[in-house]
Amino acid sequence: MLAVALCSGCKSIQWSAQRPLTWDDFKGSRNGGYAANIYWRLHYRYAPRISNGNYQITFGVQCLFDPSESCLLMDKESPELLRHEQTHFDLAELYTRKLYRAFTANTYTAAYRKEIKDTWALVFSRLKATQEKFDQETDHGLNKPAEAEWESQVALQLKQTPPYPLNVDTRYHRPKRVAKT
Protein backbone atom coordinates (compact mmCIF):
# COMPACT_ATOMS: atom_id res chain seq x y z
CA MET A 1 0.00 0.00 0.00
CA LEU A 2 2.79 2.41 0.88
CA ALA A 3 4.52 1.78 -2.44
CA VAL A 4 1.36 2.72 -4.32
CA ALA A 5 0.94 5.90 -2.27
CA LEU A 6 4.56 6.88 -2.86
CA CYS A 7 4.23 6.31 -6.56
CA SER A 8 0.63 7.11 -7.38
CA GLY A 9 1.69 8.80 -10.63
CA CYS A 10 3.76 5.82 -11.82
CA LYS A 11 2.49 4.30 -15.03
CA SER A 12 2.98 0.75 -16.13
CA ILE A 13 5.63 0.18 -18.76
CA GLN A 14 4.68 -2.04 -21.68
CA TRP A 15 7.37 -4.51 -22.69
CA SER A 16 9.39 -3.33 -25.69
CA ALA A 17 12.66 -4.54 -27.19
CA GLN A 18 13.49 -0.87 -27.78
CA ARG A 19 12.87 0.10 -24.16
CA PRO A 20 14.81 -2.02 -21.66
CA LEU A 21 14.28 -1.46 -17.96
CA THR A 22 16.50 0.90 -15.98
CA TRP A 23 17.01 1.13 -12.23
CA ASP A 24 15.05 4.41 -12.34
CA ASP A 25 11.99 2.31 -13.22
CA PHE A 26 12.10 0.53 -9.84
CA LYS A 27 10.14 2.95 -7.64
CA GLY A 28 8.58 0.66 -5.04
CA SER A 29 9.57 0.31 -1.41
CA ARG A 30 11.55 -2.69 -0.17
CA ASN A 31 9.61 -5.92 0.03
CA GLY A 32 10.65 -9.54 -0.10
CA GLY A 33 13.96 -11.10 0.73
CA TYR A 34 15.91 -10.40 -2.46
CA ALA A 35 18.22 -7.68 -3.78
CA ALA A 36 15.50 -6.67 -6.25
CA ASN A 37 11.87 -7.55 -6.94
CA ILE A 38 10.23 -7.10 -10.29
CA TYR A 39 6.46 -7.00 -10.64
CA TRP A 40 4.86 -7.52 -14.00
CA ARG A 41 1.31 -8.05 -15.14
CA LEU A 42 -0.13 -10.02 -18.00
CA HIS A 43 -3.40 -8.54 -19.18
CA TYR A 44 -5.78 -10.41 -21.38
CA ARG A 45 -9.00 -9.24 -22.93
CA TYR A 46 -11.46 -10.87 -25.23
CA ALA A 47 -14.60 -10.17 -27.21
CA PRO A 48 -16.78 -13.12 -28.23
CA ARG A 49 -18.97 -13.18 -31.33
CA ILE A 50 -21.36 -15.93 -32.29
CA SER A 51 -21.98 -16.41 -35.99
CA ASN A 52 -24.03 -19.34 -37.30
CA GLY A 53 -23.41 -21.23 -34.06
CA ASN A 54 -19.65 -20.73 -34.26
CA TYR A 55 -17.84 -18.92 -31.46
CA GLN A 56 -15.30 -16.43 -32.73
CA ILE A 57 -13.19 -14.77 -30.06
CA THR A 58 -10.97 -11.75 -30.55
CA PHE A 59 -8.13 -11.54 -28.02
CA GLY A 60 -5.88 -8.83 -26.74
CA VAL A 61 -2.90 -9.48 -24.49
CA GLN A 62 -0.30 -7.21 -22.92
CA CYS A 63 2.81 -7.58 -20.74
CA LEU A 64 3.37 -4.67 -18.33
CA PHE A 65 6.04 -3.77 -15.78
CA ASP A 66 4.74 -2.17 -12.56
CA PRO A 67 7.21 0.51 -11.31
CA SER A 68 5.26 1.23 -8.14
CA GLU A 69 5.74 -2.31 -6.83
CA SER A 70 9.14 -3.16 -8.32
CA CYS A 71 11.99 -2.37 -5.95
CA LEU A 72 15.70 -2.69 -5.29
CA LEU A 73 18.05 -2.54 -2.34
CA MET A 74 20.16 0.51 -3.15
CA ASP A 75 23.45 -1.10 -2.18
CA LYS A 76 22.75 -4.01 -4.57
CA GLU A 77 22.35 -1.99 -7.78
CA SER A 78 24.44 -3.50 -10.60
CA PRO A 79 24.21 -3.99 -14.36
CA GLU A 80 24.20 -7.77 -13.85
CA LEU A 81 21.25 -7.67 -11.45
CA LEU A 82 19.35 -5.35 -13.80
CA ARG A 83 19.90 -7.80 -16.68
CA HIS A 84 18.60 -10.59 -14.44
CA GLU A 85 15.43 -8.61 -13.69
CA GLN A 86 15.09 -7.72 -17.40
CA THR A 87 15.23 -11.43 -18.24
CA HIS A 88 12.32 -12.04 -15.85
CA PHE A 89 10.38 -9.37 -17.74
CA ASP A 90 11.47 -10.86 -21.09
CA LEU A 91 10.21 -14.29 -19.96
CA ALA A 92 6.86 -12.72 -19.06
CA GLU A 93 6.70 -11.20 -22.56
CA LEU A 94 7.62 -14.51 -24.18
CA TYR A 95 4.80 -16.27 -22.34
CA THR A 96 2.39 -13.44 -23.14
CA ARG A 97 3.09 -14.21 -26.80
CA LYS A 98 2.59 -17.92 -26.13
CA LEU A 99 -0.68 -17.13 -24.38
CA TYR A 100 -1.89 -15.18 -27.41
CA ARG A 101 -0.93 -18.03 -29.72
CA ALA A 102 -2.73 -20.55 -27.48
CA PHE A 103 -5.84 -18.37 -27.25
CA THR A 104 -6.04 -17.88 -31.02
CA ALA A 105 -5.28 -21.53 -31.87
CA ASN A 106 -8.22 -22.85 -29.84
CA THR A 107 -11.68 -23.63 -31.13
CA TYR A 108 -14.33 -22.38 -28.73
CA THR A 109 -17.77 -23.60 -27.72
CA ALA A 110 -20.57 -22.20 -25.57
CA ALA A 111 -18.24 -22.89 -22.62
CA TYR A 112 -15.70 -20.39 -23.99
CA ARG A 113 -15.23 -18.63 -20.64
CA LYS A 114 -14.01 -21.84 -19.01
CA GLU A 115 -11.96 -22.75 -22.08
CA ILE A 116 -10.23 -19.36 -21.97
CA LYS A 117 -9.62 -19.67 -18.23
CA ASP A 118 -8.18 -23.18 -18.69
CA THR A 119 -5.86 -21.97 -21.45
CA TRP A 120 -4.73 -19.10 -19.23
CA ALA A 121 -4.08 -21.45 -16.31
CA LEU A 122 -2.01 -23.83 -18.43
CA VAL A 123 0.20 -21.13 -19.96
CA PHE A 124 0.54 -19.27 -16.67
CA SER A 125 1.61 -22.43 -14.82
CA ARG A 126 4.29 -22.99 -17.47
CA LEU A 127 5.45 -19.38 -17.11
CA LYS A 128 5.65 -19.69 -13.34
CA ALA A 129 7.65 -22.93 -13.61
CA THR A 130 10.02 -21.32 -16.14
CA GLN A 131 10.54 -18.26 -13.93
CA GLU A 132 11.35 -20.53 -10.98
CA LYS A 133 13.71 -22.65 -13.10
CA PHE A 134 15.47 -19.48 -14.29
CA ASP A 135 16.08 -18.36 -10.71
CA GLN A 136 17.15 -21.82 -9.63
CA GLU A 137 19.57 -22.45 -12.50
CA THR A 138 21.10 -18.96 -12.31
CA ASP A 139 21.09 -18.84 -8.49
CA HIS A 140 19.12 -15.58 -8.79
CA GLY A 141 21.70 -14.17 -11.20
CA LEU A 142 24.82 -15.20 -9.27
CA ASN A 143 25.76 -18.03 -11.66
CA LYS A 144 27.14 -15.89 -14.52
CA PRO A 145 27.53 -18.63 -17.18
CA ALA A 146 23.99 -19.90 -16.57
CA GLU A 147 22.67 -16.32 -16.59
CA ALA A 148 24.35 -15.63 -19.94
CA GLU A 149 22.89 -18.83 -21.41
CA TRP A 150 19.38 -17.95 -20.21
CA GLU A 151 19.63 -14.39 -21.55
CA SER A 152 20.75 -15.72 -24.93
CA GLN A 153 18.02 -18.38 -25.11
CA VAL A 154 15.23 -16.03 -24.06
CA ALA A 155 16.37 -13.41 -26.59
CA LEU A 156 16.41 -16.06 -29.33
CA GLN A 157 12.94 -17.32 -28.38
CA LEU A 158 11.58 -13.77 -28.42
CA LYS A 159 12.94 -13.32 -31.96
CA GLN A 160 11.38 -16.61 -33.05
CA THR A 161 7.96 -16.03 -31.45
CA PRO A 162 5.72 -13.61 -33.34
CA PRO A 163 4.49 -10.62 -31.34
CA TYR A 164 0.81 -10.17 -30.62
CA PRO A 165 -1.27 -7.32 -32.08
CA LEU A 166 -1.64 -4.21 -29.94
CA ASN A 167 -4.71 -2.02 -29.43
CA VAL A 168 -7.21 -4.81 -29.99
CA ASP A 169 -10.78 -3.68 -29.30
CA THR A 170 -11.98 -6.14 -26.68
CA ARG A 171 -13.52 -6.06 -23.26
CA TYR A 172 -11.11 -6.01 -20.36
CA HIS A 173 -10.47 -8.93 -18.03
CA ARG A 174 -8.75 -8.73 -14.68
CA PRO A 175 -4.94 -8.79 -15.03
CA LYS A 176 -2.82 -11.48 -13.50
CA ARG A 177 0.23 -10.36 -11.56
CA VAL A 178 3.30 -12.16 -10.36
CA ALA A 179 6.37 -10.98 -8.55
CA LYS A 180 9.67 -12.60 -9.27
CA THR A 181 13.22 -11.66 -8.48
User: What are the pLDDT digits (tens) for 24-77?
Assistant: 999 998 666 789 999 999 889 999 998 888 899 999 999 999 999 999 887 889
End-to-end CA distance of the chain: 20
* Residue 10 in this model has a pLDDT that exceeds 80: no
Enter the pTM of the model: 0.87
Q: How many domains does the chain have?
A: 1
* Residue 3 in this model has a pLDDT that exceeds 60: no
Q: 9 versus 78: which is more confidently predicted?
A: 78
Domain extent, residue 85, equals 2-180
What is the rounded CA–CA span in Å between residue 99 and residue 101?
5
What is the rounded CA–CA span in Å between residue 123 and residue 96?
9
Is residue 106 within 8 Å of residue 123, measured between CB atoms?
Answer: no
Is residue 112 within 8 Å of residue 48, measured between CB atoms?
Answer: yes
* Residue 21 in this model has a pLDDT that exceeds 90: yes
Phi–psi pair at 51, nearest 5 degrees: -135, 120
Three-state DSSP class for residue 178: strand
